[in-house]
Structure formats: C-alpha cells, structure tokens
Chains A and B, each alone.
Chain A
C-alpha cells in the first residue's frame, strides 16, 4: 500500500519552493517515512532548520517546527532538547548551512553527543542564493563564485562527524531512497547525536553549470558513483577508485548529553 504522506504534510503548504529536478523532496519523503517507521508522535517531535533551500522543509511538515537563523539550527535544537529531553529533535540542513556558517555547531553537537538527528541535504552548492560554492563543493568544480574552478577542497561530512565524535554516522543518497529512509529511522532511534549525509542534487545551479545533465541524470550519477561499505570491502582498490562510500559508518553507544546532565541534577538534588 502506498505510503500516505498527507498525514505528515501540512495542508495547503504545497507546492514547495524547490526547483524541478531538485532532490530535496525525495529526502523529505524519506524523512517522513522514517518518522513513521520510528513511530514518532507528531506533537512530541520538533524539526529545526537554518537557512537555505533544505531549510524550508520545516514549513511543509506537520510537527513543531523552527526555521531558525543561518547555520544555527543545531544550536537552537540543543536548547530545545535540553529544555525538554523527552522531545524527539531533528535538524535538516544544507551543506552550506551545516558545514560553513554552522560548522562550529556541527562539530560541537557531535562532541556533546546530544540526542538530535541531523540530516544534511548535501547538494554541493548554495542553491538558494544562486549557486555559489560550498564547503562540500568538490575541488575544481564550477560555481558562480568559482568561475575558474573551485580552489578549495571539500569537507567529507562522514569523516568530519566521526572525527568530532558523533556516535551514529551514515551516508546515503537521494537515489537510494530505501537505505536513506532506513538510516534516518536508525538515526532517530539512536540515543545520541546522529548524522546522516544525504547526497542530493541541484540541477538548476550546480548541474547546469558543470554540465551534469538533468535532475534524473544526476541521480543516476549518484547511483553509478557510490558503493556500499560492505560491497566495497570485497573489491580491489582500483574498483573503488572514484567511488563515494555509503552505509552506516559508525553506530556506538555512549552516554547521551541530556542523560548525563540528568544524572548531575539527580546527584546535586539528592545531596
């Protein structure tokens, strides 16, 4: 039976602002299926975002939603979670929002291991402002502010999250909708900070400039240039060359931040 998205979409708020061929809608649907799979109570779920194309998602989905300032979604979400640890808190963020202006909050949320699920809708570009390079834009690629090719090197969201101490780290793509949904659901279920790097596509500002084809062709590129972690283990290095690894990279147990703070409250109040 087809999934009934209308239970989670606010009536009258569509159509969305995303361009034809943009993959953000695919990721939004994966998130909604994951929320359903995780059995979340809409009244007790908070979705927070910053600024950018991806950050418009909270306006469409029927939860407690907070469209905050650029880069600061995780910091707002940290206040929400600390103030009521019983809430399920999710953050959706673009690569510019999460990794550039929000980079500091990203690493510290990882370090704190606060129970928030972050989905990075990673399309390698600042879409809303018209296609400037982001910290996830690969070296050499064209953007409106890298007209001669990007001299910067990109962050790898997975490596960054693991290095900063996140306890659940995964990557999937807008092509691989079922694994993506599964990872998001696992991230929600994970007690601690979860990062899901959701590779997606911006045909309008990134694809067109770099001659990557239509939205559909860009999704096929994601299919052809990614390889699952387990499959990669059995492949010789030359077959892994140029491929982006997907899957769950880390899933470890560590005391969650609000639980740790609750212990402090119990201790000082008992004393």
Chain B
C-alpha cells in the first residue's frame, strides 16, 4: 500500500486514522491511557477545519459527539474504563436514534479506578452489554498499531453505513506501543458515508425503512426538520408505545447487524494440518497467542489460530467450525474469563474450552500460553 511511513503509538494511529476517515469533530475528557488521542486531535482538527472540544465530563463528551453527528459531522470520542462506563447511557441513545459515532476505549485494569496505567481486556462484555435495553453492538479489537489505523477507518465506515455507534477496543499496550505504520495515500481506503435522504423534506420520514433496513438520515439544518428522541418512536420519528410498532423497530436495530455480517465480521485464521488444539485470541493478547502457536508448531504441536478483529458481533460460525475440527480451544485474555463464555457457547459440547487468564496489569506472555498448549496437548 502506497503511503507515508511513520513511527506511531496506537493512540496516535487512532487519531490519524480518524482524520483520514473524515472525522471532523472530537469531544473528550482527559483519561489515562487514552489521552493522547485527544491531544493529537486538539492539534490537528483545527488544521483541517474541524472542531475539538474538551468537555466537562465523559458523559457530556459522548453527548456532544452525538450532537455533532446529527449535524452531519463524522464524530469521535476516546476514553478508558471509567469513562466508558459513564458514556454508556448516551451510547444507548445513539443506538436508539441511530446516530453514527465512534467510541475508542483504551482498556485498562478495573473495575472502578483499577489500574489506570496498566492494560486489560476486561471491558469486552461491557462493549456488548454496557448500555441498558436490547441494543445492537459493534466492537472492533485491533492488535497492532497498523491495524488500529485500518480498524479506526473501518469503525467510521461501519458506523456511517449502519447508523450505529461502533466501539474500538484497544488497550494500554497497543495504545502506547510504537510501531512503524503506513498511512495510506488519500483514496487508497474506501470511505463510506451515512445514507442521506433523496426525497424532498416534505416527503422525508426519518425512520422509513421501505427502501432498506437502514433509513436515510438528514443533517440538522438542511431543511429536513425531523425529531430525534430516545423514546421508542415510529417511522416518523415521534414517540410511540404501540406494541405492534415498538417490537419490530427493536428487532430492526438488531437486524441491522445480523443482516450485514458480511461487511462487519472480520477475523484472521490460520489452520494447520492435523491440529487437535485451537486458539481464539484477540487484541494485544493475540500477539502473544500467535507467538505461542508458532513456537508450538516448531515443537511439533499444530494449533489452529483464530483472531477475531470484529469482536462484536462474535464470529460464531468460525468458532463453531473450529470446535468441529479440534478437541480443545484455548482462549487467552487479560481478564478473568469473558470472551471465553462466547467461545463455550459456540463450541457447545464439541470441544473443551480452557482459558489463559491474567488480570494483574501485566501482559500475557507467549510462554504462559505455550505452557497451556503443552498441558492440553
């Protein structure tokens, strides 16, 4: 890929990629270990005519992002555990009202203040279920600085096309680690925009799905005076509590994800001849996982490797197929066992699922994972 080589930390890559994707609004609040995203964009956004604002708290930062998106600006916020918790209500508002926005969570140890300067992967279930009510969720979990760049662009693309918030889950390791990456030249990556109305304002119905499952979204201020509410609403956008209207709309929010798996799902898979062991690893733990799998192979133990890049929706089919091929699946995570529950669900009784867990603020080492491989081999 043609482009400019830079030596960036993950948080800088998020910010650079956001600009590449067309993000022109950022609202945030200082929090370790994500603050570099805000600092970078406070310098760069005004240079491209965009806006940066440091809000009074995490909640208002999420609110401002949704407000800016309603005016038509691609919008971003970045945070870490405690801030992610605080943003949850407004993330639900964005799900309900179908307002595109991207939320970066540079995961640190928790719960509560936890380990502000140490990595974890303990917010992965929160990314799926953090806000109340049935709601759609997309979460991407890159595992290198280059991939952070690509996945940030993809987060904006998915958010725009599907009109739903997208979480980008990194962690303190890849957030702060520096790697050489290529910033693609303009035009090298496809950029998507939200669907905008093709009908005149008098015919516009903001949640009209007759033309497809993703309704067209008008920018505030362009003549389409529509109503946005977090209450259950009908196709006109106004509140309703009629049961026959409420449930189909709730189902549609989820169907936006399930009917678009082909553009959302993404994983890296390495299959090895004769493997009776599989591994499902994501984010920075996948780096150690991959290294361990490679060492095991050198030592004569073939291990199938699956790395979900899209964590939510979970790659059910790929994991289920792995369970058909292997006897045991290893799931390394920097938490006390979260995505392992999904792997178990998909594997059923067809494969034993074991975790390699670490929640002491230190990364899982390839040696720890290799030890588990030799144990189960």
**A residues touching B (Cβ–Cβ < 8 Å)?**
10, 13, 42-44, 46, 48, 58-59, 62-69, 72, 74-84, 86-87, 104-105, 108, 261, 264-265, 268-269
Contact = CB atoms under 8 A, between A and B. Distances in A.
Given A59-B229, A268-B47, A75 B55 contact: yes
Interface of B: 24-25, 27, 46-47, 49, 51, 53, 55-57, 59-61, 63-73, 75, 89-90, 93, 220-231, 238-239
18 contacts: A43-B221, A43-B222, A69-B90, A78-B27, A78-B67, A79-B27, A79-B53, A82-B64, A83-B73, A84-B72, A86-B221, A104-B56, A104-B60, A108-B55, A108-B60, A265-B46, A269-B46, A269-B47
Contacts of B68: 79-80, 82-83
A104 to B, nearest CB: 5
Nearest to A43: B223
A86 B220 CA distance: 11
Contacts of B51: 82-83, 261
A264 B46 contact: yes
A261 B220 CA distance: 21
Contacts of A72: 59-60, 63, 90
A64 B67 CA distance: 12
B315 to A, nearest CB: 32
B362 to A, nearest CB: 36
A65 B70 contact: no
Contacts of B47: 268-269
Given A69-B89, A86-B221, A75 B63 contact: yes
A105 to B, nearest CB: 5
Nearest to B25: A83
A42 B55 CA distance: 28
Q: Which of B61, B72, B224, B227 has the largest number of chain A CB atoms within 10 A?
A: B227
Given A42-B225, A68-B66, A79-B64, 4 more contacts: A64-B221, A79-B69, A83-B67, A269-B49
B229 A67 contact: yes
A87 B53 contact: no
B230 A80 contact: no
Nearest to B45: A265
B98 to A, nearest CB: 13
B347 to A, nearest CB: 39
B93 to A, nearest CB: 5
Contacts of A76: 63-64, 66-67
Contacts of A44: 221
Scoring A67, A108, A265 by chain B CB atoms within 10 A of each residue's CB, the highest score goes to A67
A83 B72 contact: yes
A42 B56 CA distance: 30
Contacts of A48: 67
A80 B67 contact: yes
Contacts of A261: 46, 51, 53
A81 B60 CA distance: 14
B60 A75 contact: yes
A88 to B, nearest CB: 10
- Which of A74, A82, A86 gathers the greatest number of chain B CB atoms within 10 Å? A82
B220 A84 contact: yes
Nearest to B231: A67
Contacts of B93: 68-69
A256 B355 CA distance: 55
Nearest to A46: B220
B75 to A, nearest CB: 7
Contacts of A77: 67
B239 to A, nearest CB: 7
A69 B228 CA distance: 11
Contacts of B72: 83-84
Contacts of B224: 64
B71 A83 contact: yes
A105 B227 CA distance: 23
Max chain B Cβ within 10 angstroms of own Cβ: one of A64, A68, A78, A108: A64
A82 B25 contact: yes
A65 B56 CA distance: 24
Contact of B239 (A59, A63, A66): A59
Given A75-B67, A78-B67, A83-B68, A43 B227 contact: no
A65 B227 contact: yes
A242 to B, nearest CB: 35
Contact of B63 (A13, A63, A64, A69): A69
Given A59-B227, A87-B220, A105 B56 contact: yes
A224 B228 CA distance: 39
